[in-house]
């Protein structure tokens, strides 16, 4: 299996949860991952808060990425939440998003890129959008999509927005975790089928 690296660390799996205390910390850690993908002629998809898209481009630029050139040639795509996680009514539809991830990875391959790297900023989960309660089911199910297509994705979470129980559940849906700038195999990872059964039982008990 081909490997990618995150800040020099080999990645054997495809689904990473990354926890940060600040945006400065986030970009200090992730910019080398993004730049590596650009230098290796890979396709980069970034899903961001539309209000921070220009700031995202600026921070990529300070990390050594020519965002104007990369967007112009199609190597870098910066997409807003409303074109990905959320539908036209501002609702999270996990099945639609799973299909979107499948499409994005296939689209990159069809364009001739050997690998596609996806980053999703997850702050929308905490803004009260309808359907956001399905996020754990989505995070469990997207493992299969990423593994089937053999493409890596990083889900970025702000530690300040997470309760202890939510952080543990997020950890359990990702085979890799990035904490303190280091990627580690996640000892709390729960296989998707097992996690989905537990989530189903929780709903029935509620």
* Mean pLDDT to the nearest integer, 66-85: 96
d(CA 112, CA 109): 5
Q: What is the pLDDT of residues 4-15, one digit of tens each?
A: 455 554 456 789
pLDDT band for position 1 (cuts 50, 70, 90): very low
| pLDDT of 166 higher than 60 | yes
DSSP one-letter string for 32-95:
HHHHHHHHTT-EEEEEE-GGGHHHHHHHHHHTT--HHHHHHHTSEEEEEGGGTTB-TTS-B-HH
CA distance 111 to 144: 22
In this predicted structure, what is the pLDDT of residue 12?
60
Rounded Cα–Cα distance for residues 204 and 200 (Å) = 6
Lowest mean pLDDT among 11-25, 74-88, 165-179: 11-25
Q: Is the pLDDT of residue 118 over 60?
A: yes
Tens digits of residue pLDDT in 19-59: 999 999 999 999 999 999 999 999 999 999 999 999 999 99
Domains observed in the chain: 16-205 (3.40.50.300)
d(CA 111, CA 118): 16
């Amino acid at each position: 299996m081909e490997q990618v690296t995150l800040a020099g660390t080999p990645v054997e799996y495809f689904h990473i949860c990354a926890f940060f205390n600040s945006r400065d910390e986030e970009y200090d850690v992730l910019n080398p991952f993004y730049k590596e993908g650009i230098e290796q002629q890979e396709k980069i998809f970034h899903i961001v808060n539309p209000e921070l898209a220009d700031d995202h481009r600026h921070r990529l630029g300070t990390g050594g990425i020519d965002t104007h050139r990369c967007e112009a040639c199609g190597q870098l795509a910066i997409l807003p939440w409303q074109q990905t996680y959320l539908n036209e009514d501002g609702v999270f539809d996990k099945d639609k998003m799973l299909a979107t991830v499948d499409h994005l990875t296939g689209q990159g391959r069809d364009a001739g890129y050997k690998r596609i790297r996806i980053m999703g900023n997850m702050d929308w989960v905490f803004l009260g959008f309808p359907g956001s309660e399905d996020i754990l089911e989505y995070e469990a199910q997207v493992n299969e999509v990423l593994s089937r297509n053999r493409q890596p994705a990083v889900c970025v979470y702000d530690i300040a927005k997470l309760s202890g129980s939510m952080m543990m559940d997020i950890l359990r849906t990702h085979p890799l975790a990035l904490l303190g700038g280091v990627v580690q195999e996640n000892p709390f990872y729960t296989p998707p089928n097992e996690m989905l059964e537990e989530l189903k039982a929780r709903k029935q008990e509620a």
